[in-house]
Amino acid sequence: MPQQSATINSKRKGSQFERQMAAILRAEIWPECYTSRFMGSAWDDYNGIDLTGTPGFHIQCKAMERTPPYHNILKAMPQGKKTNIVIHKRNNSGCIVALELDDFIKLVKNNYETKIHLDKASIR
């Protein structure tokens, strides 16, 4: 019986973390960011996408003490033009973001190119 209680608690913990991340991302970046369960998106939820309304990104949230298998999670998510991201939280340790190296390089290059473009525009 205790194992069932632990499963319920871990499911509740995961759902709470998804809602927390959606609220943070909604306030900071994407005003339309919600959990896929809240939005009733069975396709997203089935494909391991926990947050919707994040243009250009598929995001899965993990609240667990052990390190999740990031490579497997990222590969199981839909592959295409969107960047797959895993947000992982441990108790009392904050959050980290995991993504493929190629996706990280694209994000940094895009940010760098945008900054150069903006810097050149401000000189004129």
Nearest Cα to Cα of residue 18 among 53, 55, 43: 53
pTM of the model: 0.81
Query: What CA–CA distance (Å, rounded) separates 93 from 64?
Result: 11
Domain count, the chain: 1
pLDDT value for 10: 82
Chain Cα centroid distance, residue 65: 17
Given a cut of 50, whether residue 36 has pLDDT beyond it is yes
At 89-104, the pLDDT tens digits run 998 889 999 999 999 9
pLDDT value for 44: 74
At 57-78, the pLDDT tens digits run 999 999 999 999 999 999 999 9
Domain of residue 102 covers: 2-123
CATH number at residue 45: 3.40.1350
Percentage of the chain surpassing pLDDT 90?
A: 59
pLDDT value for 56: 94
